Amino acid sequence: MRRDQVVLGLGLPSLTAVGGVVPMAIADVPGVDVAGLTFDAGSRNSPVLLKVGSRAAGGRTVGRSGQPTALQDVFFRIGGPHAGKATVSLEVNTDGTLLDDIWAWRADHGEGVGWTKNTARTGVVVNGDDVVATGLFVEHYQGYNVVWNGERGRTIFFQNEPAVRRAEPGRVAAPRAGRQPG
């Protein structure tokens, strides 16, 4: 994407990852604004559904606080309308990114849902410093819902639901805690 570019979805369109691709990656450029989009995982695993910036050499992130990248009303679905798989839904590497109304959901009901059907390890990974999230909703991921590695970040209203492994038809769920049967 070019600097100061706006990507605005009208009617909350869905971008579905096909063949394990990354549907959208934002380069290390200032002033990008993405709003009103839904990212759906496809049937082949994608490493990430939306990647903001890149990891610079030495593990540092690149960003420009005067013209931040902003994501507003951006949603992620792993399963629900159809089977889907992704390792990470949202990866934020750019310093000073603004996140507003972000919902990352690994489906616990709907089509293509099951512990081994709609797999996703992590909902949101924040590597950038000074990232601000207002309205961050992350649910049901199989590893971590959020991994926040950046410094001086803030969240204003965070909603989180851990994954619950339910018994699938024909299978018995393993006990999560306590004594093993038998």
Would you please indicate which residues are annotated as catalytic (active-site) residues? 161
Q: Is residue 150 packed enough to be buried (19+ CB in 10 Å), middle (13-18) or exposed (0-12)?
A: buried
- The residues facing 91 across adjacent strands are 51, 125
Instruction: Return the structure tokens found at 136.
Output: 């961050």
Residue with tokens 């990114």: 97
143: left (phi over 0), alpha (psi -120 to 50) or beta: alpha
